[in-house]
Structure 1
Amino acid sequence: MRETSVAVVVVRDRAGWYFINRRTPWRARYPGRFGIGAGGKVNDTETAEAAAERELREETGLDVRPRPVLAFFYVDGAVRHTVHLFDIVIDRVPIPNCAAEWSASCWVPPRVVDRLHRAGLLSPDTAALWDRYQDVQPAQCLS
């Protein structure tokens, strides 16, 4: 089992709402589950920071330098990767749905993310990310 690295950017607006997405049903991993922000694999020739910026730009059209938050190792069956977590806080703007990645996307308050989590509808790696993000960003997440 090969270990990979992924970079994920949590996208939050100034009112504390989160940009979430629903994975397309044909995705190999976690089809139909919800994710937060944008993210993907860190290529062999790039840093986690560069991957975060690239994924954010490719998936949302946002050209913003994200802030590093934390990194953690995630294991779930055949999935083994280091998650490099970043975030950005922006004015809420319409973000077009990235049809190659998601079947839907929208802005939601944190309580909706919590409900999706409790219902088991977040992708498992997103659930782990959300738990850790809440631990390091409690005041900002409640704003």
Structure 2
Amino acid sequence: MDELVERVDAHDRVLGVVSRRDAVREGWLHRVGVVVCRDRQGRFLVHRRAEQLSRFPRHYELGVGGAAGVGESYEQAAARELGEELGVWATVCLRFKFLSRGGLSPHWLGVCDAVLPEIGAADPREVAWHGWLTESELRQVLQRWTFTPDSQEIFGRYLACHADLPSPPENI
């Protein structure tokens, strides 16, 4: 059975419940929550999606996340996906959201962040590789490696607003 999501409007107001498959096929707006993970040294977590995934296999990604389920906040969706994909349970903070037109269909993207001391056991069905990159290294690989459509915009917006934000809570 396909997962259920909330179809939302251009102002992120709920219109009803639909299947994620229908939302993507029809181009209906829905919500996706992602978390940008940093370590204590300020490096960014980057991962490569597994080969067998139906959406963007073998692409690199800055944010860990997925579609928000019915009644689920951006933070809850991002935290759930972090646990499922990387084996880490952490408190995440919503930093901003924007209407993303990249990817398979348009969606509201809620970008959260968290400081992680380490990574748990990554799910090999989701994550083929992960590593920590400095801001400079990430800028370089964003130009060379194949990233998911949202990654570049997430990074740019994150850096633009990060200087004005309090530090995320550290998960020890």
Over alpha carbons, which structure has the higher Rg? 2
Partner of 1:61: 87
Q: Distance in 1 between matches of 2:44 and 2:156?
A: 14
What are the Cα deviations for residues 19-63 of structure 1, in whole angstroms up to 9, with x where unaligned? 111012233332221112421110123122221221122222222
Partner of 1:121: 146
Q: Distance in 1 between matches of 2:90 and 2:116?
A: 9
TM-score w.r.t. length of structure 2: 0.72
Whether 1:13 aligns to 2:39 is yes
Q: Distance in 2 between matches of 1:22 and 1:77?
A: 16
SS of 1:76's equivalent? Answer: coil
Matched-pair contact (CA < 8 Å) for 2:87–2:119? no
Matched-pair contact (CA < 8 Å) for 1:18–1:37? no
- The aligned length equals 139
Aligned amino acid, residue 69 of structure 2: N
Unaligned runs of 5+ in 1: none
Q: Distance in 1 between matches of 2:43 and 2:101?
A: 28
Aligned ranges for residues 80-95 of structure 1 at < 5 Å? Answer: 80-91=106-117, 93-95=118-120
Q: Distance in 2 between matches of 1:8 and 1:77?
A: 14
Q: Distance in 2 between matches of 1:31 and 1:58?
A: 17
Whether 1:46 aligns to 2:72 is yes
Unaligned runs of 5+ in 2: 1-26, 166-172
Aligned amino acid, residue 135 of structure 1: A
Considering only aligned residues, what root-mean-square deviation do their CA atoms show, in Å? 2.0
* Alignment counterpart, residue 128 of structure 2, candidates 99, 103, 111: 103
TM-score w.r.t. length of structure 1: 0.85
Matched-pair contact (CA < 8 Å) for 2:52–2:125? no
Choose between structure 1 and 2 for higher RCO, CA contacts under 8 A separated by at least 6 residues: 1
